Amino acid sequence: MNFNITDKKEIILITLISSILVAYYINFNNNLGIYCSDVYVYLLNALYFAGTNIHSTKSIYLSPVVCFLTSLIFDLGYVDKVAIFISTGILAIIGNIGLYLLLRLRFNNLLSFTGTIIYTTLALNLAWLANGSLDIPAVTFTIWAVYFAILAIKKNPKYYIALFPLLVIGFFTRYTVGLILPPLFLYYVLENSFKIKREEIKFIAIGLIMAILLFAIIFSTINYMGNGFIAFDGLLSSGVSGNLGSTHDNSYNPDLGYYLVNMGNFISSSNTTFVAKTPSLANPTILSGLVFLILIIGAALWVRRTNFDINKTKTAGIIICLIALVTFTQFSSTITIILTMIGLFLIGKDSKYKMAIFMLAWILSYFIFQSYYIVKVNRYIIPTFPPLIYFLMVSIDEINAKINRKNILPIILIVLFLIQGFAFTYTFEQTDEFNSPELMTNYIKENIDNWSEIQIGNYNIRPYYWYLGLNSPGIESGNTQKIIDSNVSYYISNHPQKNLTNYTEIKNINDLYLYKRNG
């Protein structure tokens, strides 16, 4: 992991730019409010790690890494939603540094810096940056795991000691980090065949022992805090079996091409609206077209200069990949991923482009799983961005080989994407929806002296457990009779209640209504 003084300057610059960007988006998200309700669950879990359990026993298994890191900020006395923005923002910065180092294994300083800046300021990344969601933090650990894996396989097996624990941390950040395992195994056998080298055994053993111990510590902790309730075994079994997901989910979407069709929007978009409380990106800008143009030209130049040696093994690999593609909807995503990895192994085992084969496998592993899964949210595809950036840098490298002014294209991209990084917030639709729960609870705390001692019913327990604590039972706002029978002192509704007898509306904030029981 040695790097020269130039790399140090680049890393400092990346850290500085990333920190400014993260601070900018923390402020933006604080003003916008929490739009991903899962974040309230993570905040409550963090509060549990800090010593206060507000109905978090059965959810503590969800991302214990991010929740624990956030709890450390709580322990310092700062108990606020911004704490999780800070923790996920710091992890994003660490991921950017890791991506630069990963790209440096193949590219020069400028291209590695360019790729890192583009990755950092892709529209979809910006939409989920430093807002408490898990996807970018999970990619951070994936990037570093890949970096240490390549170092361990290609340079020094001592990096296995870091690799395996990182995979465990990544797994407990977001369980889909496990999808990087097939590509990593593929890269290992491409470089080393199926034999473990004698000099690797010691370091692999140490890394595995450390990983097992770390897994045991985290698992036993959340098992104890959850009173034995850990539901990620269901998530894992669904993932391994290639379960399609639930048709009742708000994000149900059977369109296999969803992520591919929207890739232009994910790169750069000029309009961000909220659909089912999820930022929906639309109207791709010229930046998206420029990225696609660079990829096409670079691919064409690479094909033109490459002599392809198509033998029976490679042909078999191509056929297997085609079978995986054609039968994509007939089998589980797990079978399709395995077939794809086998096909890529046969294509790449005698190739000098093993790194590119690995990066392609990285993209396909996530693309296949998430496209097959009928619950689709745009952020789920963020893990494919680092290898996509790799291929973009390969394309720029190919183009630079044909022109004299080799710095011009990277510099143009750096400037344009940095502008996007800070201008992207202006693409968001104006809304007060996501700040309303906090504003309503602030009103309650300021105007109801005994608010912490009485029952305040609400339409959605997630935000109100966080803002009001234990005495905030959830009651569907459409079930008027249940609200009346519940005997709660106050009720927060997300729509006007016309038949709520024995209650009087006392406050309206945006689309929220506070009702007080009469008498």
Q: Are residues 331 and 456 in the same domain?
A: no
Band (pLDDT 50/70/90 cuts) for residue 332 is confident
Please state the rounded mean pLDDT for residues 246-265: 79
Alpha-helix runs per DSSP H in 33-128: 38-49, 64-75, 82-104, 109-120, 123-127
| Mean pLDDT across 303-329 | 88
Q: pLDDT of 18-59, one tens digit each? A: 999 999 999 999 999 999 999 999 999 999 999 999 999 999
User: Do residues 144 and 69 both lie within one domain?
Assistant: yes
Q: How crowded is residue 31: how many other Cβ atoms within 10 Å of its Cβ?
A: 10
Give CA 333 to chain center in angstroms.
20
Residues 407 and 442 in one domain: no
* Residues 515 and 491 sit within 8 Å (Cβ to Cβ): yes
312, two tokens: 């029976």
Say yes or no: 391 and 496 in one domain: no
For residue 147, give the 3-state DSSP assignment: helix
Distance CA 389, CA 370 (A): 19
Task: Categorize the per-residue pLDDT at 236 as very low, low, confident or very high, splitting at 50, 70 and 90.
Answer: low
Please enumerate in sequence order all residues whose Cβ is within 8 A of that of 184, keeping only pairs 6 or more positions apart, or say none. Answer: 145, 146, 149, 358
Q: Which pLDDT band, with edges at 50, 70 and 90, does 375 fall under?
A: confident
User: From CA 162, how far away is CA 165, in angstroms rounded?
Assistant: 6
Number of structural domains in the chain: 2
Helix (H) or strand (E) holding 457: strand 456-458
Query: Can you say how many angstroms the Cα of residue 163 is from the centroid of all Cα atoms in its chain?
Result: 20
Domain with residue 509: its CATH number is 3.40.190
Residues 24 and 144 placed together within one structural domain of the fold? yes
Amino acid at 363: I
**172 and 316 part of one domain:** yes
Q: State whether 179 and 292 are in the same domain.
A: yes
SS3 271: strand
Asked whether 479 and 463 are in contact (CB, 8 A), the reply is no
Q: What is the mean pLDDT of residues 425-451?
A: 95
Specify the pTM: 0.94
Instruction: Point out the domain boundary residue: 392, 427, 462.
Output: 427
pLDDT at residue number 1: 56
Can you give the pLDDT at residue 232? 60
Q: Distance between CA atoms of 151 and 145, rounded to whole angstroms?
A: 10
Cβ atoms of 257 and 329 closer than 8 Å: no
Structural domain boundaries enclosing 508: 433-517
Q: How many other C-beta atoms lie within 10 A of the C-beta of residue 230?
A: 17
Question: Between helices 109-120 and 5-32, what is the axis angle to 10°?
Answer: 10
Per-residue pLDDT at 241 exceeds 50? no
Neighbours of 389 (CB within 10 A): 24
Give the chain's mean pLDDT.
93
Asked whether residue 475 falls in the same domain as residue 396, the answer is no
Do 24 and 422 contact (CB within 8 A), yes or no? yes
Residue 293 has pLDDT above 60, yes or no: yes
- Predicted local confidence at residue 108, as pLDDT: 95
Element (H, E) at 272: strand 269-275
Q: How far apart are CA 340 and CA 322, in angstroms?
A: 9
Domain end among 427, 450, 477: 427
My answer on whether 72 and 138 are in the same domain is yes
Where a domain ends, among 406, 427, 448?
427
Residues 176 and 210 in one domain: yes
One domain for residues 286 and 375:
yes
- Predicted confidence at residue 489, as pLDDT, reads 94
- Going by C-alpha positions, the residue among 139, 416, 419, 120 that lies closest to residue 294 is 416
Residues 256 and 302 in one domain: yes
pLDDT at 447 over 60: yes
